[in-house]
Structure formats: structure tokens, C-alpha cells
Chains A and B, each alone.
Chain A
Amino acid sequence: MRLHCPICGERDRREFYYQGAAVMLERPGPDAGAAAWDDYLHLRDNTAGDLDELWSHDAGCGAWLRVTRNVSTHEIKTVVLAREIKR
């Protein structure tokens, strides 16, 4: 598997660290309640199609990336810098 880091270009999967679903970008407020926090940390749609997920170019530039990838075919659709999404 190869990911296109927006900063470094296309690199082998082994340069990247995988975090999980990109829901982790949407951190609830401290008083959002137990259910919201359970959703954030534990519950997952875990669909078998396209998934927004978080990777980090750990052995490269260190950028956190939101990757849209089909988890049944491993086809990578888009890669964007996490910091760009929040801005």
C-alpha cells in the first residue's frame, strides 16, 4: 500500500502510523456527556466501504493526514492534511 503524503509525495505504507477512524478529529467538549465520549473513543460505524481515517507520516514529515480509503479494496481515494481540515 502506498500513500500520497501532501508534503512528501507518494511513500510506502511502512513510513506511516495508523490511528483509526477520523472521528478522532471531532473531540467533544468536556461536558458533552458520556454517550458523546463513548461515540468518540469507542463506538465505530466500521463500514466495509469508504472510511475516513487518520494516519501520520511518522517516519517522514510527521504530518497527520486524513485519508479516505476503501477498507474492502484498500483503494486510497484522497489524502489531506489534518491541519487543513480544521482550518
Chain B
Amino acid sequence: MRFSGLKVLTEGLTGNKGWGPHWRSPEPKSEYDIVLIGGGGHGLATAHYLAKVHGLTNVAVLEKGYLGGGNVGRNTTIVRANYMLPGNSEFYSHSLKLWEGLEEDLNYNVMHSQRGIINLVHSDGQRDAFVRRANSMCGQGDDGAILDRAGVEKLLPFLDFDQTRFPIYGGLYHRRGGTARHDAVAWGFARSASDRGVDLIQQCEVTGIDVVNGVVKGVQTTKGPIRAKKVGMIAAGRSSQVAAMAGLRLPIESHVLQAFVTEGLKPCLDHVVTFGMGHFYISQSDKGGLVFGGDLDMYASYAARGNLPLVEHVAEAAMTLMPVIGKAKMLRSWGGVMDMSPDGSFIIDKTEIEGLFVNTGWCYGGFKATPASGHTFAHLLATGNPHPTTVRHRLDRFRTGRGLMDEEATGSQHNLH
């Protein structure tokens, strides 16, 4: 069924009785060409591109919970291509371009809104670093501009420019950055993949990976064994447990990241604003809630919930930067499990087991990568070769030191990225 304004109109006139399932819920077959472990945003995107770009539809996505139930369903929805280092720069540029055509591609309104992102600058040194970043973005063909203080004041007049602990010198303005409706991204990919023939199997937990003589043969699941020629692991914060079933140890630590939303308010913030000195970022959703977040809780966790110190720190950052939102009330806090890598950048690669592929290490930046993660992982699964934008994102880069992409420049400590 094709979605359109006309369809909404005709269905509305006939009692909305004609809407069908957005995706099928089939029972798993006994064998697939490709099995993807993890029905989050990246897994569903991979399925979509396998089907659409490579014509591979004998594919199953196995999800132990519900589709899009991981970080794609609980993030702060930011979409941007403002990375600095070679490897990341190309990849996120590629991703943003996919975002810009995603609604047509999926026939699903994911509400991608390029409302602009402003990274605030609070010192000369920080400005130099942001200029370097902005020049990387421009060199990549993306947009990046440096605003002086007056330029920021024009866009964000409600910030506290003078009394705040870290006065605002200016900002890095990324016009094409913005937000999207996170759940819709998962659902749009799911619907498209399902329509093209991919089986999305929910409530199906993988309990084992079958490897014979170094070659993957399939998986064991709570719905029985499934044979597969290739298996892709896309399990985000649970990556280590999945990989362990194949006897692999990953360079990943799982950490908790919290995010927050306030009660609905009339529009007061058009852009996405980030405040590096306070590890704080904020935007306003279309429903009117201020959506914001901060740093990791900074301890390993699978609990998908955090603690008060970080909650308070984030609110404190809000109060020094933009005390106009003091009377906005935090409605809900939540936490997700982050697959933190030693350089803060992701991994899309083959493993030492033939036919077993891994997609992990998104730290807390996986949402914006969703289309390109799926696109490039599908490319690797289908062709056996890395996509040109992910040649650096190898699993062995930490051992060799080749192609490290440490955007935060904090070194090999997983939680500092």
C-alpha cells in the first residue's frame, strides 16, 4: 500500500478500515541467504538496502524484543554530518545524503527536519578546533559555517551570553543538520524491507551461532534453528553477548546514556543547540517537548537506566546556558545501552569467522548513521567488500593502530568518547 495525502483522505472518508499492517509478522523459515541479528534501526536499514540495492530478499531480521526497540527508539533524534576525521567525514556525509532522500525512498514520513545545528564555542582554542572541523565538513562537500557571537545571538537570542559560566564566543553552524522522528525511521525501514520480501521476526532471540570449521552455518533461536549462508550481527549495546556466541571478543564496553524530555511547550527553540563545556544538547520536538541529553553516566551498564548525578548535571548545564527554560518540567528520563568502542568510532567489518559480519561500536551517535550504516553494511554483506566510506572502520584497527578515528581525542578508554 502506497502512503499519500490522498490515501489518508480516502481512508478517512471510509472509516480508516483499509489500513493494513505496516509489516508482516511471518514465522521464520528454516534457511535464509542472510540472517541479521538485531531488529533495531541499523538492522532494519540493512535489510531495506539489501533488498533494494542488492536485490537480496531471502533475508531474515531476528529481533528478541520488538522492532526498533533499542536505541533507535530512545535517542535525542539528531541528524548531522559534522565529523572531522577522515573515515567518519565521508561516512556521515554519505549518511546525510541518504537522509535527504529517505522519505521518498521509504514512502514514509520520518519527519526529517533540517532545522540546523549550532555547536557553541566558548574559547579561542575551541573555536580553532571547530574551524578545523568546519573546514573538514566543507572539504567533504557538506555545509559548515562559523558564527561569531552576534551571529549566534541572532539565531538564539534567549541564551545567557554574559552571566553564564562559559561565555559564548560563537558557534559552528551546520544548516543541514537537524532531527527526525526516531520511531518512524525504524518503522519506515521495516515496512519497506517487509514489503520487499524480508522476513522480520520479532520475539525471536538468538541463543547460539553455529560455526563449523571457521565458517558460519546459521543460528539457534528461541523459535528454533535457522540456517544461513551469512550472518550479520547488529546488536548495538548487546554486541558483545552476540559475538560471544561465536567465540569472539569485541573491543566494546556497554555504557548507559540517558536522555530527557520536558512537557509540551509552545515553540521556543527552532534549532539543535550543543554546549560542549557542559556536555549538553537540546532541541524541541514537533510535539513541543524539549528533548535533551548529556554525557554518559560513565559506568558500564546494561540496565538502560541511569542515576541522578547525570540528570542533575544536564539540568545544571541547561540552567547556565539558557535559564529561560527553567520552568520547563522534565517529564521523562530514559536510558539506553551504548556500544562504546576504544576510539569512539564504529566498526563495520568481516570477522575471523567466514560468513560472519559485525556492525557495532556506534557509541552514542548511532541514530544519524542509521541509513548509511544499513547501506554500507548491506554493501559488505552483499559484495564481501567494504563500502568506500567504511574502509577505515575495521575491527583490527585498535591492534594495528591503523586508521584510528578518535574524534574526542581521549584515547583508548571506552567510556570517554
Query: Touching in the complex, A and B, CB below 8 A?
Result: yes
Residues of A within 8 A of B (CB): 1, 12-14, 18-21, 34-35, 37-39, 41-48, 51, 53, 69, 71-74
B251 part of interface (Cβ distance < 8 Å): yes
**8 Å CB contacts to A: which residues of B223-267?**
240-241, 244, 249-254
Give Cα A37–Cα B400 distance, bound, in whole angstroms.
11
CB–CB A72/B302 < 8 A: yes
The reply to whether B300 and A51 form a contact with Cβ atoms under 8 Å apart is yes
In this complex, what residue of B is CB-closest to A14? Answer: B309
**Which residues of A sit under 8 angstroms from B240, Cβ to Cβ?**
44-47
Bound complex: CA of A35 vs CA of B399, how far in Å?
7
Kindly state the separation between the CA atoms of A69 and B307 in the bound complex, as whole angstroms. 15
Q: How many residues of B contact A (CB 8 A)?
A: 24
Q: What separation, in Å, do the CA atoms of A30 and B240 have in the docked complex? A: 28
Q: Please state if B415 and A74 are interface contacts (CB–CB under 8 Å).
A: no
Roughly how many angstroms separate A41 CA and B244 CA in the complex, as a whole number? 18
5 residue pairs from A and B, CB less than 8 Å apart: A12-B309, A34-B399, A47-B241, A72-B302, A74-B303
Contact B413 A13 (CB under 8 A): no
Contact A44 B302 (CB under 8 A): no
Contact of B399 with A42 in the complex, beta carbons under 8 Å: yes
User: Which residues from chain A contact B299 at a C-beta distance below 8 Å?
Assistant: 1, 13, 18, 53, 69, 71
Question: Judging by beta carbons under 8 Å apart, are A20 and B253 in contact?
Answer: yes
The answer to whether the Cβ of B19 comes within 8 Å of any Cβ in the partner chain is: no
Contact B249 A43, beta carbon cutoff 8 Å: yes
Contact B254 A71 (CB under 8 A): yes
**In chain B, residues 402-417, which have Cβ atoms closer than 8 Å to a Cβ of chain A?**
412-415
Q: B residues engaging A (CB < 8 A)?
A: 240-241, 244, 249-254, 298-303, 307, 309, 342, 398-399, 412-415
A8 CB to nearest B CB, Å? 17
- Shortest CB distance B134–A (Å): 31
Given the known interface contacts A14-B309, A20-B413, A20-B415, the answer about A46 and B252 at a Cβ–Cβ threshold of 8 Å is yes
Complex interface: chain B residues within 8 A of A74 (CB): 301, 303, 307
CB distance from B55 to the nearest CB of A (A): 36
Given the complex of chains A and B, what is the CA–CA distance between A45 and B412 in angstroms? 16
A13 touches B309 (CB 8 A): yes
Q: Determine the distance from Cα of A35 to Cα of B396 in the docked complex, in whole angstroms.
A: 11
Question: Taking CB as reference atom, which chain B residue is nearest A48?
Answer: B302
Are B399 and A44 in touch, CB under 8 angstroms?
no
CB distance from A33 to the nearest CB of B (A): 10
C-alpha gap A58/B414 in the complex (Å)? 19
Q: Is B303 a contact of A44 with CB atoms below 8 Å? A: no
Given contacts A13-B309, A42-B398, A42-B399, contact A73 B303 (CB under 8 A): yes
Contact yes or no, B301 A44, CB < 8 A:
no
Question: In the bound complex, do residue A18 and residue B253 qualify as a contact, i.e. CB atoms below 8 Å apart?
Answer: no
**Which are the 3 A-B pairs with shortest beta-carbon distances?**
A46-B240, A42-B251, A14-B309
Q: State A38–B307 Cα separation when bound (angstroms).
A: 32
Q: Cα distance A13–B301 when bound, in Å?
A: 14
Q: Inside 8 A of A1's CB, which chain B residues have their CB?
A: 299, 307
- What separation, in Å, do the CA atoms of A12 and B412 have in the docked complex? 27
CB distance from B46 to the nearest CB of A (A): 22
Instruction: Across the interface, name the chain A residue whose C-beta is closest to B307.
Output: A1
Q: Which residue of A lies closest to B337 (CB)?
A: A48
Q: Which of B253, B301, B302, B399 contacts A21 (CB 8 A)?
A: B253
- C-alpha spacing A44/B415, complex, angstroms: 13
Residues in chain B near residue A71, CB distance under 8 A: 254, 299-303
Shortest beta-carbon distance from B241 to chain A in Å: 6
* Centre residue among B240, B250, B299, B302 by max chain A CB count within 10 A: B299
Q: Which residues of A contact B251 (CB under 8 A)?
A: 38, 42-44
Which partner residue on chain B sits nearest A40 by CB separation?
A: B412
Residues A20 and B399 in contact, CB atoms below 8 Å apart: no
Pick the contact of B298: A18, A39, A44, A69 (CB < 8 A).
A18
Structural contact, B398 and A44, CB atoms closer than 8 A: no
A37 contacts which chain B residues (CB < 8 A)? 399
B residues in contact with A44, CB < 8 Å: 240, 249-253, 414
Distance in Å: Cβ of B233 to nearest Cβ of chain A: 14
The CA-CA distance from A49 to B94 in the complex, in Å, is: 38
A-side contacts of B298, CB under 8 Å? 18
CB atoms of A46 and B250 under 8 A apart: yes
Q: A37, A43, A45: which has the most chain B beta carbons within 10 Å?
A: A43
| Whole-angstrom distance between the Cβ of A45 and the nearest chain B Cβ | 7
Chain B residues lying within 8 Å of A53, measured Cβ to Cβ, are: 299-300
